[in-house]
Amino acid sequence: MDPTDLSRRGFVGTALAGIAALTAKSSAQDAAPAKPFRDPFVYRFKIGEVEAFSISDCDLGFREGLDLMWPVEDRPKMKAEMERHGERLDTLPLYVNVLVIRSGKDVALFDAGFGKGNNPKMGWLQDGLAAVGISPDQVTAGFLSHAHSDHLNGFVQEGKPAFPNAKIYLLEAELAFWRGENPDFSKSKRNKEQLPGMIKQVRSHFDTLQANLVPVKDGAEVLGGIVRIEAAPGHTDGHACFRVRSGNDELLHLMDLAHHHLLMFADPNWTIAFDHDPVTAVVTRRKFWKDAGDKRTRCYAFHLPWPGLGHVLPDGDAYRWWAERWAWS
């Protein structure tokens, strides 16, 4: 057997150990996988007593590359920074990492990815949940950071709630923004042609999820105090971060405070076109980076390289994302 093949297959088996009932024997002896090989997409870890999983929902990237980044006059500096670290420039990778936690009878999702569609490169959350033995009706809570499609759409499947028993917590400000008569995108660098379709879809999804939605205020604590919801405005009006606590352990979910593991840390003033209010997004990012950096808080990020765990470290006047090493136990 090709040693590379063996180690890669062992790697998959380990990542899903005890989950899909793969044994070392079967993973080593099967001559060929029945399905095309796909890299592992479920990573298991702990936050105190809470069991946690990071599930990758897609394999996508933005071909616009640095054209999505602002301010325009800083793009040469961004390019230099990317080249200095050997980062590709032809595309900006889009990771979509969904945090799942299990505590007692509660199973909670932090956003739900794109949802299953016709594109096999996206919407893997449901497969990931199945791999760890969680059925959609076992999900008791969903946390929605904001209503962009990569976060909201996975909560809806074929016009119905994808997780029928889940209460979906979101900040009141996020619901008010999209439900408002005229959602204000005047400060955003986003392509404005897409807005009417986007607003319509968000409202339709909120209608579908109406009975599940639980609007809350900044600082609300749910699941017996395990999860605290913190306002982090700028990316959207009601964008939220989440703090998960168990025992002495804490995990700060950064959500869309960063869309790239280098750019938003090398200079927190650099913003992506999808921010609704870039100026406020920078103020919020600096506040969270300073706090997480000073306290060395363990962090998790929706759009940084999977599995998305790491620390925000102060680095002179700026910061850096220090990804956590993989561990199997």
Q: Which residue, 103 or 145, is less far from Zn ion as judged by CB?
A: 145
Beta carbon of residue 255, minimum distance to Zn ion (angstroms, whole number)? 7
Closest contact distance (angstroms) between CB of 111 and Zn ion is 8
Identity of the residue, 237 or 256, whose beta carbon is nearer to Zn ion in the bound complex: 256
Residue whose CB is nearest to Zn ion in the complex, by number: 256
CA dihedral 326, 112, 180, 232 (to 10 degrees): -10
75 three-class SS:
helix
Shortest distance in whole angstroms from residue 313 CB to Zn ion: 23
- Strand, helix or coil at 53? strand
Nearest to 96 by CA among 62, 52, 130: 62
How would DSSP label each residue in 218-261? TT-EETTTTEEEEE-TTSSTT-EEEEEEETTEEEEE-GGG-SST
SS3 of 107, please? strand
* Closest C-alpha among 271, 309, 314 to residue 292: 314
Do 120 and 58 meet the contact criterion of CB atoms below 8 Å apart? Answer: no
Task: Provide the minimum distance between the beta carbon of 68 and Zn ion in the complex, in angstroms, as a whole number.
Answer: 12
Q: Which lies closer to Zn ion via its Cβ, residue 132 or residue 252?
A: 252
Asked if 123 and 117 count as a contact pair (C-beta separation under 8 A), the reply is: yes
Residue count (the chain): 329
Kindly list the residues in this chain that would bind Zn ion in the complex (CB under 5 A). Answer: 150, 256
Least distance CB 151 / Zn ion (angstroms):
6
Determine the Cα–Cα distance for residues 115 and 205; give it in Å rounded to an integer: 12
Q: How far is the CB of 156 from Zn ion (least distance, A)?
A: 17
| Smallest distance, Zn ion to C-beta of residue 235, A | 8
Q: Strand (E) positions, 57-96?
A: 60-62, 69-70, 92-94
Q: Which is nearer to Zn ion, 228 or 276 (CB)?
A: 276
What distances in angstroms separate CA 134 from CA 43, 104, 220, one per listed residue? 14, 13, 26
Q: At what angle do helices 172-179 and 195-208 cross, to 10 degrees?
A: 120
CB of 96 to Zn ion, least distance (A): 7
Query: Measured from the CB atom, is 16 or 256 closer to Zn ion?
Result: 256
Nearer to Zn ion, 59 or 150 (CB): 150
Of the two residues 44 and 239, which places its CB atom closer to Zn ion in the complex? 239
